[in-house]
Structure 1
Amino acid sequence: MEDAHDTTSRSKRPLDVDPSVAAISSSKKANETLTRNRELTTVLVENLPKSYNQNKVYKYFKDCGPILHVDIADSLEKSFRFARIEFTKYDGALAALTKTYKLVGQNEITVSHLVDCTLWMTNFPPNYTQREIRGLFKNLNVVILSIRLPSLRFNTNRRFAYIDVTSKEDANTCVEKLNDVEIQGYMLVTKISNPLERSKRTDSATLEGREIIIRNVNAELLDENTLKELFDQFGHIEKINIPAGQKEHSFNNCCAFITFEKKCYAEKALQMNKTMLHDREISVGLADKKPFLERKEVKRLLTLRNSKELESLTCLFPVSDKVSSSQIEEFLQEEIHVNKNQIEKVHLVSDFNGAIIIFRDEKLAAKMPMILNNSQFQGRMVRSGTINDMKKYHNNRNNNTVKDAKPSRINTMPRRPTHQIKDKSADKQEQMSNDDFRKMFLGK
């Protein structure tokens, strides 16, 4: 007797599947767990009344399905408005399409999928914010719907943006005008966003184990030709990278990175570890990922007990996880008038929504909390203090009991009066602005 299931399966006629549809379906399933396709869940609404804001658009389209985000932009002539609506599901976008040609006020709107209208831009100057990126499009007569920057929580070196415009033609114009344009010494890259054509990662050699780091190199021998002669015997070298500024700062312990064509070449080169390069023993190992090394250093600073090293640190908080260290450095230089050479390093501390700033001068670091406290940075008020102040402020916010973080350096800087004192000199001190404090402490 034949198996019933087998008979049933043979009696059913297989469906004819369009090869292109099948390919799209399989590709979609493969990428479904990795990324959500915004083009399938995002619509563009045109010809909305000028009075329509995010809230009104949200109310009008909320019956279509859960909405993730709404962006509003004026047309070039300011005669109507665009809306970019991102739904959580594809069904929501489909439902929104049914509202096309409906009247909203006196305006007949159109709703369409936002396809091939997203730009991917990278390699702009590190200090660029949304405002500067938007300024690049100022003379192109293009409407910008939204600009999305990446979170720097796990990798502070990420620097790219996704920009939505209103048409394919505008997107092509932007690529034509803004790709391979030099800005402040950086060659801008602008492309139509296509997840299937992702560029090769710049840290791919590190991830693939093809990059080595050589430490403890004598500054006089820090030369590309010298390193090539020494390591070329192990296999083809793709690139030699010598971090800038080592010779200028008279570092005794210099380092360099060498990228090989194959992983096995890099592994062979490890036999040079603890060998002599002229008069010095060098250290050779596989290069670690930069984000990993940076987070390792941040963790060390957060648990620091060395009071001498702590004296050169100041924290800035709260700071968005989309703010880069270069933007903080620019803020310190332009708004607080700190000399670039006075800043040793800026570390982002995303776990506590802040940043650790290391100064070369301990006296300047001691003054900074008073100067920085209650300053305006990127449209929000920021505070400053020690690492413990930053931790306390973050924990208080999480517990919904936000309190001002009081600076811990009680003996090193004056406190701001907490209550009214009738003494005239105290009244004058209360009236002093942040600029007055900066001039007083920085002598400017």
Structure 2
Amino acid sequence: MSEAGNKRRHSELDDVSTKEISLDRHEREYCTCIVTNLPKSTNIKTINNFFKVCGNIKQTKFLKNIQTAKIQFTFRKEMLSALTMNFKHFNNNPQSPIITVEAYENSSLWVTNYPVDYSYIEIKTLFEEILGSDTVFEVRLPSLQFNSNKRFAYVDLLKTDLCAKAINELNGKQIGDYKLIVKMNGLPKDDINVYKKDHEAEDGKELYLTNLKKNNTDEEVFNLIKEKCGCIDVENENHFEIPIKRPDNGKIKNIGFLTFKNADCVTKILSTSKESKKFFLKINKNNKIYYQKVESKGYLERMKFKKMLKFGRKFKDYNLWLSLYPLFEDKINFLNKYQLSNYLESEIPGSKVTDFLLVTDHKGVLVKFQSEIDVSKAKLKFDNIKTLQFRNVKYSNDLIKCGSILDLANSDKAHKKPLVSDEKKEAIESVCPETDENSKSKDEVKKMTTDDFKNLFH
């Protein structure tokens, strides 16, 4: 970008009245400052109270052990206003220490290809084992994806020099079947656009396979899929990324990701499959491999939940699903399905979790067990427990409810206004009086005379 372009860009960032900053992965740093040497007795509330005169605070992260905070404002100019607090006594109290306030820059990392069962806790621990405790402000997971090649996180560190050490130590580190990728966050906007285009193209080149048995070789899958797109004479090496990715963590089995080198083949396969209504490869009479376009986990789960609601109790395997709610809304997005599955199975010996859906709209999760007996055991174990906590993280402080798919869907209606008003209810009851032998209908009550009423008290 030219010098004139840079000046114009920074002028736009500083002009609060014209345009709100879009806080994406690199512009976020333009609105964030770091505060050090805070009093030991302080907390996030007092920090926000002191800096709120500078502008609207979107988020504050506080490392209490080292008295350091990271404050993110809405606008660039608000962050610049916070810099004027540098070398002042905290809370303007002469007895408080003198704080330092600096722009938070070049201290964030972009991380991907970590193991499929890693949550933000494991990612944070991974970095702090290398860099030391209290060096990670936060781990952000803005787009959890099912495919391991598309999972990524942002790790905000304490200082810039920690980024170099983390990249040297962790980039390329092998963790099981995964090779970690760690890079500096905050790429120039042009590079980000290229990155997005690359990943959009990659998304269009991939199929998600289910019912993929261990004895189904890559070769036979390749041959059948090439018949679908009419590329039977093309060498496998020139047609696919080899081998087929087969995640197997013991929880979700018989799945795979088939990546093409040409997105047109995927389009052609899906088009012909839609016409024939056959989205599968027939290996033999008893083995069909089903395929669909790879989408984000959130998209797939929303579609599946909508299907569940559409069919209600007629939904296949309805009785194998158990809902858990309410959970902390902000924690659901960080909930790792593999960790929860392990936790449930450890609490209910002999049970087996076969599927899992995050339903953030209703502040809950849906868990599919292998048998209805497992579902019954889970209800007995978890219904009305006071909190849900595992791996030292609380996911709810409220009474946990265990129910069906429809119970979860209706859970947010518990405190809403009744569908039938009291006036309408009375009208209905007058037409349809009670039939209890020990109670009298409203019509009978109306026919009572004054003398009848007096006799009730004699």
Alignment TM-score, normalising by the size of structure 2: 0.67
- The alpha-carbon distance between structure 1 residues 203 and 65, as it changes in their structure 2 partners (threshold 3 A), is closer
Conservation of the 8 A alpha-carbon contact between 2:246 and 2:257: no
Whole-angstrom distance in 2 between the partners of 1:397 and 1:183: 47
Deviation, 1:346, is 1.0
Secondary structure of the 2:50 match is helix
Moved more, 236-245 or 175-184: 236-245
- The alpha-carbon distance between structure 1 residues 351 and 272, as it changes in their structure 2 partners (threshold 3 A), is closer
Find the partner of 1:40 among 26, 30, 52: 30
Whole-angstrom distance in 2 between the partners of 1:108 and 1:364: 59
Name the structure with the higher helix share.
2
1:14-44 alpha-carbon deviations (Å, 9 max, x no partner): xxx9436257459979995583721111001
1:109 aligns with 2:99: yes
CA-based RMSD of the aligned residues comes to: 4.1
Q: 5+ residue gaps in structure 1?
A: 1-16, 400-444
Whole-angstrom distance in 1 between the partners of 2:119 and 2:80: 34
Find the partner of 1:191 among 183, 206, 215: 183
Deviation, 1:229, is 4.5
Q: 5+ residue gaps in structure 2?
A: 418-458
Report the AA paired with residue 173 of structure 1.
Answer: K
Find the partner of 1:383 among 401, 424, 427: 401
Conservation of the 8 A alpha-carbon contact between 2:137 and 2:158: no
Conservation of the 8 A alpha-carbon contact between 2:44 and 2:62: yes
1:327-379 alpha-carbon deviations (Å, 9 max, x no partner): 32122134x1445x711111111221111111111112122112012152232
1:333 aligns with 2:333: no
- The alpha-carbon distance between structure 1 residues 263 and 170, as it changes in their structure 2 partners (threshold 3 A), is closer
Find the partner of 1:177 among 139, 147, 169: 169
Find the partner of 2:158 among 151, 155, 166: 166
Moved more, 187-196 or 257-266: 257-266
Conservation of the 8 A alpha-carbon contact between 2:61 and 2:138: no
1:262 aligns with 2:262: yes
Whole-angstrom distance in 2 between the partners of 1:396 and 1:63: 40
Secondary structure of the 1:311 match is helix
Conservation of the 8 A alpha-carbon contact between 1:315 and 1:356: yes
Whole-angstrom distance in 2 between the partners of 1:269 and 1:131: 40
The aligned residue for residue 147 of structure 1 is 138
The aligned residue for residue 113 of structure 2 is 123
1:239 aligns with 2:241: yes
Alignment TM-score, normalising by the size of structure 1: 0.69
- The alpha-carbon distance between structure 1 residues 49 and 245, as it changes in their structure 2 partners (threshold 3 A), is closer
The aligned residue for residue 217 of structure 2 is 223
Conservation of the 8 A alpha-carbon contact between 1:84 and 1:145: no
The aligned residue for residue 422 of structure 1 is none
The aligned residue for residue 98 of structure 1 is 84
Whole-angstrom distance in 1 between the partners of 2:239 and 2:177: 27
Aligned residues: 370
Whole-angstrom distance in 2 between the partners of 1:283 and 1:27: 53
Report the AA paired with residue 85 of structure 2.
Answer: K
Whole-angstrom distance in 2 between the partners of 1:284 and 1:332: 29
Find the partner of 1:313 among 303, 318, 321: 321
Report the AA paired with residue 217 of structure 2.
Answer: D
Whole-angstrom distance in 1 between the partners of 2:19 and 2:216: 47
Whole-angstrom distance in 1 between the partners of 2:217 and 2:371: 32
Conservation of the 8 A alpha-carbon contact between 2:30 and 2:76: yes
Report the AA paired with residue 141 of structure 2.
Answer: P
1:231-380 map, 5 Å? 231=226, 232-233=231-232, 236-239=238-241, 242=244, 244=246, 258-267=258-267, 287-289=293-295, 291=297, 292-303=299-310, 304-306=312-314, 309-319=317-327, 320-334=332-346, 336-339=347-350, 342-373=352-383, 374=385, 375-377=387-389, 378-379=393-394, 380=396
* Percent of aligned pairs with the same amino acid: 23
Whole-angstrom distance in 2 between the partners of 1:125 and 1:111: 37
Deviation, 1:195, is 4.2
